[in-house]
Copies of this chain bind each other. A is one copy, B any other.
Amino acid sequence: MNELTRQPATLQEVADAAGVHRSTASRALNPEKSHLIGQDVVERVQAAALRMGYQRDVLAAGLRTRRSRLIGVVVPDMANLVFAPILSAIETVLAENGYSALIANAGGGVEQQIRIVDQLIAHRVEGVVLATAQRDDPVLTRCLEAGVPAVLVNRAETGTRASTVISDDIGGMRLAVEHLASLGHRRIGHIAGPQHLSTGVLRRQGFEQAMARAELPAGAIAVASAYTRDAGRVAAAELLDRHPDLTAVATANDLLALGLYLEMRARGLACPKDISVVGHNDMPLIDMVDPPLTTVHIHHGDMGRQAAELLLKRIVSQEAAPVTRIIEPELVLRGSTAPP
């Protein structure tokens, strides 16, 4: 029989082969329903389906039940190492619940993001996880207008229109500043992230609040244009030009810290001897850089998992009110910080 032309077995044929009613066979092959019938029957039907090449057609079933079993996931950049563990955790939770993840890169600004979300909606996704939120997010507006449940992860918007899972960005910066102050640093600077993103704004606020609490001046701040090593280096040069007397810098992101490393090396400054550095994220491999980076560890996997769970809950009970989950980060001490 030719592989391309053979007719797949029908559900009725599978039911007949297993000696059960068609509706029983249907339940046995549906991960959401199979718990309703005996394990031995489930196994018999599954064995028959496998032997006969039967395939459940989720798409046609979706048209009948109006459920696609698809969830859209929009990230700024899949190649960014910070998002890999978030994505991985989201996909794992979705798969456990019988959903598949339609994952899209959306680095190119709001217009591209809206085009992508429209594409996801056209595929009838039952919900969307957005890791791209800006502070007043037009993509979220589009989802809400289309009646598609959405959850934000990693980045929040200003309002509370959707459930959100973020790290405690203010608390994380407090950990960084308190650590540096406890080592004896007084002249502490901050390389901030982009100010159209919640992480950039909140970590900057966290820096300013923690410095005020320690009765230290919080004026030495340079803002990076993006969360990249290159943008971090540009901001580092600006910061060190304006404040050559700094003995420590708390950065809003590990890549910004690596940009600072590069700029310090170019100026003949040693870390931590001349300047102590603290990062934010604890991204993969950052423990192997030279010197190993002291940083604020964010539980990215945990964030992805909770975002997926909140979304699935929202899909089941449409009226659930938005909630915000704030995950507490931890300071990880490595080799980039020392007394001044």
Contact = CB atoms under 8 A, between A and B. Distances in A.
Interface in A71-120: 77-81, 84-85, 87-88, 91-92, 95, 100-105, 116, 118-120
A258 interface: yes
Interface residues of A, number: 57
Interface stretch (A182-190, A284-292, A325-333): A284-292
A81 B285 contact: yes
Contacts of A217: none
Given A261-B288, A284-B81, A100 B104 contact: yes
A195 B286 CA distance: 29
A144 interface: yes
A105 B78 contact: no
B88 A77 contact: yes
A103 to B, nearest CB: 5
A84 B78 contact: yes
A63 interface: yes
A316 interface: no
B78 A91 contact: yes
A59 B57 contact: no
Contact of A3 (B84, B144, B286, B288): B144
Interface in A114-131: 116, 118-124
Interface string A137-150: 00000001111000
Given A58-B119, A59-B123, 6 more contacts: A55-B118, A59-B62, A60-B63, A81-B84, A91-B103, A285-B289
10 interchain residue pairs of minimum CB distance: A290-B290, A78-B88, A58-B122, A79-B88, A288-B289, A285-B285, A103-B103, A79-B85, A59-B124, A79-B84
